[in-house]
Structure 1
Amino acid sequence: MVRGGVFCVEGQWDRDLERRGSVLPTLELLERLRLVRYIHRDVATPEELDYYLSRWSLKQYSDYHVGFFAMHGDPGKFWLTDRRSVDLAHVADQLAGKCEGKRLYFGACSAMRSSKAALQEFLTTTGAALVCGYTRAVDWVESAAFETVLLDVLANGARVDSAEQRFGSARWAALAYSLGFRIVYADGRTWRPTPTKG
């Protein structure tokens, strides 16, 4: 079985160069478990981000069909560093028509709090099948645990709604809900987990 591919661009989380926060250990774990293959690149400027997004769209990387944006975020915006950001429209322009059927994950706090219209426009411009991520600020450890399952589902789930199926289950819904997880599909549907009682 061919493992799904994840292409990850990661912003610089902190000005303190001695801190080592990164999503790389999560990707390494998934690769060691033989669940995904990955490409990981650090980006600190819009030009670096643009360069790696253009490389990802090359035919030789076509089986890396999950795009993972690991950065600080605000509604409709990604922070590459504490001083440099790009908005959703900029990323959409870079990926215009290059994401046919791909699944995009915004591992960026609050980035999915953008309007449905803005996210739908992003999907229309890029051609991606879905975009998902968080509508609120999230805890690093909780989101890392969630990402371990999410990236496997996005990379290897046969159906476009595989993440919805997994995180709508009683086992995962509470965590997905507490993180403010949201999925917007190219067909216009939006999904959020239902709060669980207990």
Structure 2
Amino acid sequence: MENTENKIRHIYCIEGNWNKHPHSNQSIKPILDLLFTFSKIKYIYKKCITKRDFIKGLQSFTQKRYSNYTVLYIAYHGRKNRICIGNEYITLKEIADVLEGKLNGIIVHIGSCSTLNTTEKNITDFINRTGCALISGYKKDVPYIDSIAFELLYFNVLNTYKTYTSIKKNIVSKYPTLVDILRFTFLY
């Protein structure tokens, strides 16, 4: 059954480092600020630069105090079926191990290159094990600015349309070139 709630979908974001420079200002936080300023979408932002911190960030998200945050946004470098955290990796299966049964109705957006370039079985397993309502992300390497611009549009669509069918329809119809170029995908 599709979600038809009319409340704003707030975002819980976990972000890694985009480069090795310790004083780099690269971050997706400015798009979260824009979404709050113009659409009143609240967010929690956590910088997690180690695998241990990333897992703690995921576990923290499942606490009751974050129950109004219905979008989990994971922003890291990625590879096929995994997220890069410094010199370490974490697979979709490992993330599902941490979040098993804890994401009922949550939208998971993985803003990392190629992570969803995996089998449909792996993605379906992630959805079934975590209970998330929808997972979205990229099936190829994408330019940073392109992905950030698209994600700003995507999160706005998430808060404009309430059913997953209408979200998918509107993303594909409004931004077909971006969806194709970025190999953006989502399953629910």
CA distance in 1, matches of 2:142, 2:171: 16
For the residue of structure 2 that corresponds to 1:30, the secondary structure is: helix
| Deviation for aligned residue 1:156 | 5.0
What RMSD over aligned residues (CA atoms) do the two structures have, in Å?
A: 1.5
Aligned to 1:62: 67
Does 2:52 match 1:47?
yes
Partner of 1:172: 175
Q: TM-score, normalised by structure 1?
A: 0.87
Query: Counterpart of 1:168 in 2: which secondary structure?
Result: helix
1:112-151 correspondence to structure 2 within 5 Å: 112-151=116-155
1:20 Cα deviation after fit: 1.7
Moved more, 146-155 or 128-137: 146-155
The code of the aligned residue for 1:85 comes to: Y
**Helix, strand or coil: the match of 1:105?**
strand
Please state if 1:152 is matched with 2:156: yes
What is the aligned partner in structure 1 of residue 101 from structure 2?
A: 97
Among all aligned residue pairs of Structure 1 and Structure 2, give the percentage whose two residues are the same amino acid.
28
Q: Name the CA distance, whole Å, in 1 between partners of 2:114 and 2:80.
A: 5
Aligned length: 183
1:86 corresponds to which residue? 90
User: Which structure features the higher share of helix residues?
Assistant: 2
* Contact 1:106-1:133 within 8 A present in 2 as well: yes
Letter in 2 for 1:153: V
TM-score, normalised relative to structure 2: 0.92
User: Structure 1: which amino acid aligns with 2:120?
Assistant: K
* Counterparts in 2 of 1:101 and 1:61: CA distance versus 1, 3 Å: same
Secondary structure in structure 1 of the residue aligned to 2:116:
helix
Q: Does 1:181 align with 2:184?
A: yes
Checking the alignment, whether the CA contact within 8 Å between 1:26 and 1:144 is kept in structure 2 is yes
Q: Tell me, yes or no, if the aligned pair for 1:67 and 1:105 is still in contact at 8 Å.
A: yes
CA contact (8 A) 1:35 1:152 kept: no
Check the 8 A contact 2:157/2:171 in 1, yes or no. Answer: no
> Would the alpha carbon gap of residues 155 and 11 (structure 1) be closer, same or farther in structure 2, given more than 3 Å must change?
farther
Task: Decide whether the 8 Å contact of 1:4 with 1:156 is kept in 2.
Answer: no
- Deviations 1:34-83 (Å, cap 9, x if unpaired)? 341101101111211111111111112111010101000011100122x1
Q: Where does the alignment leave 5 or more consecutive residues of structure 2 unmatched?
A: 1-5
Q: Is 2:114 the partner of 1:110?
A: yes
SS at match of 1:41: strand
CA contact (8 A) 2:28 2:148 kept: yes
- Point out where structure 1 has 5 or more consecutive residues left out of the alignment: 186-198
Q: How far apart, in 2, do the equivalents of 1:74 and 1:155 lie? A: 28
